[in-house]
């Protein structure tokens, strides 16, 4: 049986390929290039000998050579721009906080990539995600610190057909040990972090290449006083504490809200963090991975956030209402993902946040 593995150049996909070959599969590697880093370099006047994605491809090739498996590559630059990067910019314009990794999984890694894998004769498709498929259902990876089901929450049940997650039954430490013990070249390669198309660049400077921020007032929500100027609402997210940019004020503040129409950024002093808490949210575009519709379950409103107990009301048009007790920094645009135990029920995007039956002044 032939398995096409998405090779990223990292240790997780490398060990995934190793494990599958050890299990007797015919393994083929396929590397995706989703972003043209030269675009960033041209805009910012940066000259790199080799862009990060090319370095990743070289690492993926080293791994496949070591494992004696073929490696193909495919460019999804246009598809990524149309389906992921455009979404990213449009969400920022609305004052929301987007999650492009979720959309990349939905439209690229579990859509366009699968199409290319089928062309190579794939019976199964594998990735290095920390997740598990059990009887057609999506479950958290055994390493809760690395679990990536949050980012898979918009992938449909149909897209999960024939998907394998070989590393989902292991901890990250075990994966690195397997790589080291078997002389896999990337055993000590640092994990990639952040948004892939930004890389090591300054986030605000990168965004300003595409969206020109308009200066506006920073207002202390508790006193209604103007205490500084922001340089574009797209540069801030709810709960942010660093780089808020209140000139002449050394006190730490939190970002607690935005008014897009009036171009106002609301902040609160660090001891007034009750402004960050809410108790209810409307979730739109909910993608049901499971057939279950629990009234009581758990939810994550951000990646790496602990599970929060919630009650769910199911509405029409794939909307739900989740009710909870004092969760901080629930942010429009981010994903809300539901869990029943380790099973991922599905996820959608936070549309509106409320506290005591009143809509908060986020947007």
Catalytic residue, candidates 51, 64, 196, 344:
196
CA-CA-CA-CA torsion sign (129, 133, 139, 142): negative
227/236 Cα distance (integer angstroms)? 16
> How many domains would you assign to the chain?
3
335 and 265 within one domain: no
Residue 258 sits in the same domain as residue 336 = no
51 is catalytic: no
- Whether 232 is in a domain gets the answer yes
Nearest residue to 174 (alpha-carbon basis) of 57, 18, 41: 18
Among residues 181, 198, 228, which one ends one of the domains?
Answer: 181
Where is the domain boundary, 181, 203, 225?
181
Same-domain pairing of 159 and 258: no
Highest mean pLDDT (candidates 25-34, 50-59, 253-262) = 25-34
Residue 362: pLDDT band by 50, 70, 90 thresholds? Answer: low
Element (H, E) at 22: helix 11-22
Asked whether residue 136 falls in the same domain as residue 243, the answer is no
In a domain, 31, yes or no: yes
* Unique residue bearing structure tokens 């869990």: 339
Interval 68-100: pLDDT, tens: 999 999 999 999 999 999 999 999 999 999 999
What per-residue string of b and e applies to 242-254 under the rule 16 or more CB within 10 Å gives b? eebbbeeeeeebb
The DSSP secondary-structure symbol of 306 reads P
Q: Are residues 16 and 133 in the same domain?
A: yes
Q: Determine whether 104 is an active site residue.
A: yes
- Mark whether 153 and 293 lie in a shared domain: no
In a domain, 206, yes or no: no
Are residues 142 and 47 both part of a single domain?
yes
Question: Which is catalytic among the residues 51, 64, 104, 344?
Answer: 104
Whether residue 8 is found in the same domain as residue 137 = yes
The reported pTM is 0.92
Tell me which residue range forms the domain holding 318.
Answer: 275-359
Is 50 a residue whose pLDDT tops 90?
Answer: no
For 137-288, list the strands marked E by DSSP.
Answer: 137-140, 163-164, 216-220, 225-230, 253-259, 264-269, 277-288
Judge if 139 and 40 occupy the same domain: yes
Largest CA distance in the chain: 67
* Cα gap 92→143, rounded to integer Å: 32
């Amino acid at each position: 049986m032939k398995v096409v593995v998405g090779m990223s150049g990292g240790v997780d996909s490398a060990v995934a390929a190793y494990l599958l070959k050890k299990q007797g599969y015919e393994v083929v590697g396929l590397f995706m290039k989703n972003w043209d880093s030269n675009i960033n370099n041209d805009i910012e006047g940066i000259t790199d000998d080799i862009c990060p994605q090319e370095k990743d491809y070289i690492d993926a090739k080293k791994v496949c050579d070591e494992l004696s498996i073929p490696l193909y590559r495919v460019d999804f630059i246009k598809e990524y721009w149309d389906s992921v990067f455009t979404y990213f910019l449009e969400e920022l314009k609305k004052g929301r906080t987007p999650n492009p990794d979720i959309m990349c999984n939905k439209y690229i890694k579990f859509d366009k990539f699968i199409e290319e894998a089928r062309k190579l004769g794939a019976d199964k498709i594998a990735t290095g995600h920390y997740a598990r498929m059990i009887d057609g259902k999506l479950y958290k990876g055994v390493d809760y610190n690395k679990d990536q089901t949050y980012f898979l929450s918009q992938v449909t049940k149909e897209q999960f057909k024939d998907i394998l997650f070989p590393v989902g039954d292991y901890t990250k430490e075990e994966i690195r040990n397997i790589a080291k013990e078997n002389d896999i070249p990337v055993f000590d390669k640092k994990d990639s972090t952040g948004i892939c198309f930004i890389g090591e660049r300054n986030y605000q400077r990168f965004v300003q290449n595409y969206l020109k921020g308009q200066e506006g007032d920073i207002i202390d929500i508790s006193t209604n006083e103007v205490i500084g100027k922001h340089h574009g609402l797209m540069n801030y997210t709810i709960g942010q504490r660093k780089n808020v940019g209140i000139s002449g004020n050394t006190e730490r503040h939190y970002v607690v809200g935005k008014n897009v129409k009036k171009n106002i950024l609301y902040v609160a002093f660090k001891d007034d963090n009750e402004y960050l808490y809410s108790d209810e949210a409307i979730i739109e575009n909910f993608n049901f991975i499971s057939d279950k519709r629990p009234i009581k379950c758990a939810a994550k409103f951000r990646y790496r956030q602990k599970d929060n107990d919630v009650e769910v009301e199911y509405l029409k048009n794939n909307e739900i209402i989740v009710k909870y007790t004092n969760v901080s920094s629930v942010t429009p645009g981010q994903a809300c993902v539901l869990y029943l135990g380790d099973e991922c029920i599905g996820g959608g995007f936070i549309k509106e946040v409320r506290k005591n039956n009143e809509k908060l002044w986020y947007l």
